[in-house]
Amino acid sequence: MSDQLVRVVTEDGQLRAAAADTTELVREICRRQQTDLTAKIALGRLLTGAALMGCLLKGRQRLALLVEGNGPLGRLMVETDAEGSLRGKVQNPVAGLPPRDNRFDVAGAVGHAGFLHVIKDLGLKEPYRSMVQLQSSEIGEDLAWYLTHSEQVPSCVAVGVELDRQGEVAAAGGFLVQALPPGDQGELGRLEDHLARLRPTTSLLREGFSPREILGQVLDEHPFSVHQDTRLRFSCPCNRSQIGDVILGLGRDELEAMVKEQNGAEVICDYCREVYQFDAAELETFISQL
Ligand code: ZN
């Protein structure tokens, strides 16, 4: 089954919710980033969070999440758009941490101190930027804290990645539930106990539940209607002319050195790991433009 995001609103208008299956894209992005097991879970959770938070984007709007903790992974960055395209990268893809209490030490890999940055390009003059301190560094709680306290929309977030015995991503996904105005947090508060008892989203996905069926479980007794059903996929918008602009930005001295010492240049996209080669003649053309 391909990756999918479903967004719904309850019929009483009190809650908005979304659920996502991100298994394929997390698998693909982690393969490209060559992550170890703990990094796979951390990056997969952040990607799933971005997919869920991206459910309200429209047109050409974009959302980026950056987690900057003091752990061995360094910076984790993910991006998404209204079309359901996602990409992500991690500064140091090998956390190299032993498990704690038989669990992957995601919080240790991210680092217990640091920040979550949220950058939204809503097509306005300047992108909207916001930043909160990491709470638990487990990603899901950090995103919920941001939505509840910074955007002031009471929210529950669950994001998960389950690995198989070979360390491959067996399932990745999650859900987001938000209380809508003018109602208060009451309804969400009542739902929280129920959510705490729910089986992990990844277990449900492995058993063949669709995101829509998962929302049925998440929202318990609340009837809802589907507002959006989006296919999610890995996609990197990098291209040769964009990378060319980056090279041009290095300046004359640097470009001349590249021609002399390497007879060309090789640039690898941080996100998709695509390799772009530029030969000496192309670099000479760049130099002539400066
Ligand atoms: Zn790329």
| Beta strands 233-234; 85-90: pairing state | parallel
pLDDT computed for residue 1 by the predictor: 65
pLDDT in tens, 94-122: 998 888 888 999 999 999 999 999 999 99
- Ligand 1 centroid–CA 44 distance in Å is 18
CB-neighbour burial class of residue 184 (10 A; exposed 0-12, middle 13-18, buried 19+): exposed
d(CA 76, CA 258): 30
Residue 25 pLDDT exceeds 70: yes
- Ligand 1 centroid–CA 237 distance in Å is 6
How large is the greatest C-alpha to C-alpha distance in the chain, in angstroms?
70
Strands (E) across the chain are located at 4-10, 15-21, 62-69, 75-81, 85-90, 114-121, 128-133, 155-163, 169-179, 224-231, 233-234, 264-268, 275-279
pLDDT in tens, 73-85: 999 999 999 999 9
Amino acid at 171: A
Show Cβ contacts of residue 70 under 8 Å, excluding neighbours closer than 6 positions.
111, 112, 113, 114
Above pLDDT 90, what percent of the chain?
Answer: 88
- Ligand 1 centroid–CA 222 distance in Å is 41
Cβ(14)–Cβ(179) under 8 Å? yes
- Ligand 1 centroid–CA 262 distance in Å is 23
Show Cβ contacts of residue 276 under 8 Å, excluding neighbours closer than 6 positions.
240, 243, 266, 267, 268, 269
d(CA 20, CA 84): 11
pLDDT computed for residue 201 by the predictor: 97
- Ligand 1 centroid–CA 239 distance in Å is 7
Average pLDDT of the segment spanning 19-36: 98
d(CA 185, CA 153): 9
- Ligand 1 centroid–CA 271 distance in Å is 5
- Ligand 1 centroid–CA 235 distance in Å is 8
Residues bordering ligand 1, an ion, CB closer than 5 Å? 236, 238, 269, 271-272
pLDDT computed for residue 184 by the predictor: 62
pLDDT in tens, 31-42: 999 999 999 999
- Ligand 1 centroid–CA 268 distance in Å is 8
Above pLDDT 70, what percent of the chain?
Answer: 99
Show Cβ contacts of residue 266 under 8 Å, excluding neighbours closer than 6 positions.
275, 276, 277, 278
pLDDT computed for residue 196 by the predictor: 92
pLDDT computed for residue 162 by the predictor: 97
Confidence of residue 183 (pLDDT cuts 50, 70, 90): low
- Ligand 1 centroid–CA 88 distance in Å is 10
Q: What is the mean pLDDT of the chain?
A: 94
**Rounded to 5 degrees, what are φ and ψ at 64?**
-125, 140
Rounded to two decimals, the pTM is 0.94
- Ligand 1 centroid–CA 193 distance in Å is 42
Torsion sign, CA atoms 178, 182, 183, 185: positive
